[in-house]
Structure 1
Amino acid sequence: MRPKAPSRSPRQRFRPLLPVMLLVLGVALGLLWPSLHRSPLMLGQDASYPGARARASWSEQSGGVIDIRPTTGRAATLLIIYPGGLVRPQAYQWLGTALAPASVETVIVRFPLDLAVTGVGRADDVIARYAQGRPVYLAGHSLGGAMAAQYLSGAAAGKVTGLILMGAYPAGNVSLKAQTSLRVLDLLGEHDMVADASDVRGGLAGLPASTKLVTIEGSVHAFFGRYGPQKGDGVPTVSRADAEAQIVREVLTFLRKD
C-alpha cells in the first residue's frame, strides 16, 4: 500500500501563485493610481481672472466645497458646479472669480475620487445650505455635466432655475425635455475632441426645446477648467484667455436673463 503524500499547508499551496498575484496587483495599482492618488486641493491655485476679485473659502460641509463670493455684499444668484471626471474642484475657481463681481456666488463640489458619478445628488445639500431663497443654477463640465443633467431628471426637478453644460451632454437614458421651465445653456468647444460635437448636438434631443447651444470658437475640452492638456483633446486655435472670455460672456448673459 502506497503511503499517502504529506498534505501541504495553505501557505505551501498558494506559494507558486504568489508571483502571478503580485503581478496582477501591480498592474491593477498602476491602472488605478491616477484615480486613487489625487493631487492636494489648493485653494486659490491659478484662480485669478482679469479685472475680477472674489472671496474664496473651503468648507468640509456638504461633502467638501469651494465657496466663491463677491468681495462685498450678498450675491443675488447661486451657481453650483460639478467638476469633470478626475478633475480637482479648484480647476474651476477661475470661473467663480470671474462671475463674483456680477453678484454670483459659486459653489464647486468635491466628489470622492473626483468623480461626480459617486454623488449625483450632492446638489441637494448644497442647495439646502446655500440657496437661501436665491435662484439656483447648476453647471457641469464633461462627466460633471452628464451627472448634473441626471440629477435634474429626478426629484430635483423644480429646485434649479437653469443648467449650464460645458463640453457635456445628457446620458442616453436621461431626458429633461418635459421640463419646459428649465433654462439650459449648452457650451461646445469648437475643437473639443473629448465631447464630440455630434454627441453634444445629439444630446439636444434630451434637453428642453429652448436650450441655447453656443460654440466657443477655437476652444477645446480642457479650456473649461484649468487643469492642463487632456489626452485625446483637439488642438486649440485661440488662447486659453480668449476661450475663457467667451465662456464668461456667455454664462453671464445667460444668468442675467433670469
Structure 2
Amino acid sequence: MRRALLLLLVGLLGYGIGIAQPYVLRPALVAGQDAVSDAPSRAAVVTVDDVGGRVLSIRPEGRDARQLLVFYPGGLVRPQAYEWLGRALASRGVHTVIPEFALDLAVIDTDRADGLIAHYAGGRPVVLGGHSLGGAMAAGYAAKHPDAVAGLVLLAAYPPNDVSLAEASFPAVSLLAEHDGVADPDAVREGLDRLPRGSELVVIPGAVHSFFGRYGPQAGDGLPTVARAAAEADIVEAVASYLDALR
C-alpha cells in the first residue's frame, strides 16, 4: 500500500510539473524572428534593454521618434509576438517598447509603465496600448495616470468593469477582430462606455484574436476569413491613423 501511494504521489508530482512547466519556463526573448513585414519595417532599430526587467525596444532608424508607445502583451504571450507591429509603426515615427512580465502576465505588474515612461519618453507624448489581458491592464494604468498618458490603444480588449476613463482628456481607439473567439465582442463594444468621449471602435474584417500578435493559433479562437497579412495591414492602418490624429 505504501509503495502504491508513493508511486501515485510521484506520478501526480510529475504530472503537475509537466502541466506547470510551460507557464514557469517561458520561451527566450529573441528579437527579429518572424517580425519583418516589408523593407521599412526591416529598417527599424530593435534592441532588448534592461529597464526594471527586459524590454523589447523598437525605434525608427536615423531619426527621432515623435511618440512613445508602451505596449502590454496579451496573457501568456511573449513580447516578440508584437515586434511586427512596433516595426511597422517605427517607419511612421513611433518608438514602441514592449516589456516582459513575470509569467508573461501583465496583471502581475500593472504599473510597469512607470519606469518605462521615465526611461524612454524624454518629453515625448506617451500612448499606452495592449492586447487582450494586456490591454485591460493598460486601460487600468491610463485611468490611474491620466496626466502621464496622451492616448490608449486597445487590441481585442476593454477596461475592467471597475475602471472608467470617461473623464480622460484623450480619446482612445479599440480594435475588434471580426471573428474573435477569445475576447467577447459584446464586452469589447460595451467597454466603449468606459472609454473617453470621442473614442472609436474599429472592426478588423475577417480577423481573429491571434492575428494581433504573431504567436500562432489560439485555443477557442474563431476562424479567419482573410489572410493574416491583410488583417495586419488593417491593424497597422487603424493604429497609425489614430496615433497621427493625436499629434
Q: CA deviation at 1:101?
A: 1.2
Which of the numbers 126, 132, 153 marks the counterpart of 1:136? Answer: 126
| Corresponding residue SS for 2:95 | strand
| Corresponding residue SS for 1:229 | coil
TM-score, normalised to structure 1, is 0.90
Q: Larger deviation: 132-141 or 46-55?
A: 46-55
Q: Aligned partners of 1:24 and 1:178: how far apart in 2?
A: 51
Ranges in structure 2 where 5+ consecutive residues have no aligned partner: none
Give the equivalent residue in structure 2 for 1:160. 149
Q: Aligned partners of 2:24 and 2:151: how far apart in 1?
A: 33
Give the equivalent residue in structure 2 for 1:90. 80
Q: Map of 1:178-217 to 2, 5 A cutoff?
A: 178-179=167-168, 181-217=169-205
TM-score, normalised to structure 2, is 0.94
Q: CA deviation at 1:217?
A: 0.5
Which of the numbers 27, 38, 54 marks the counterpart of 1:50? Answer: 38
Q: Aligned partners of 2:10 and 2:147: how far apart in 1?
A: 51
| Corresponding residue SS for 1:172 | coil
1:239 aligns with 2:227: yes
Q: CA deviation at 1:16?
A: 7.0
Q: CA deviation at 1:241?
A: 0.4
The RMSD of aligned alpha carbons is 1.6
Q: CA deviation at 1:17?
A: 4.7
The structure with the largest alpha-carbon Rg is 1
Q: CA deviation at 1:86?
A: 0.7
Which of the numbers 141, 166, 179 marks the counterpart of 1:177? Answer: 166
Q: CA deviation at 1:168?
A: 0.7
Contact 2:51 2:115 in 1 (8 A): no
Q: CA deviation at 1:216?
A: 0.4
Distance 1:105 1:15, change over 3 A: same
One-letter amino acid of the counterpart of residue 135, structure 1: P
Q: How many pairs were matched up? A: 244
Q: Larger deviation: 135-144 or 35-44?
A: 35-44
Q: Aligned partners of 1:21 and 1:174: how far apart in 2?
A: 44
Ranges in structure 1 where 5+ consecutive residues have no aligned partner: 1-13
Q: Deviations over 1:167-214 (max 9, x none)?
A: 1111111111122x1220000000001012111112122212311000
Q: Deviations over 1:128-148 (max 9, x none)?
A: 000000000011001100111
Q: Aligned partners of 2:37 and 2:22: how far apart in 1?
A: 29
Contact 2:173 2:242 in 1 (8 A): yes
Give the equivalent residue in structure 2 for 1:115. 105
Q: CA deviation at 1:15?
A: 7.2
Give the equivalent residue in structure 2 for 1:228. 216
Q: Map of 1:5-16 to 2, 5 A cutoff?
A: none
Q: Map of 1:21-36 to 2, 5 A cutoff?
A: 21-36=9-24
Contact 2:51 2:119 in 1 (8 A): no
Q: Deviations over 1:111-157 (max 9, x none)?
A: 01111011100000000000000000011001100111111222x22
Distance 1:175 1:15, change over 3 A: farther
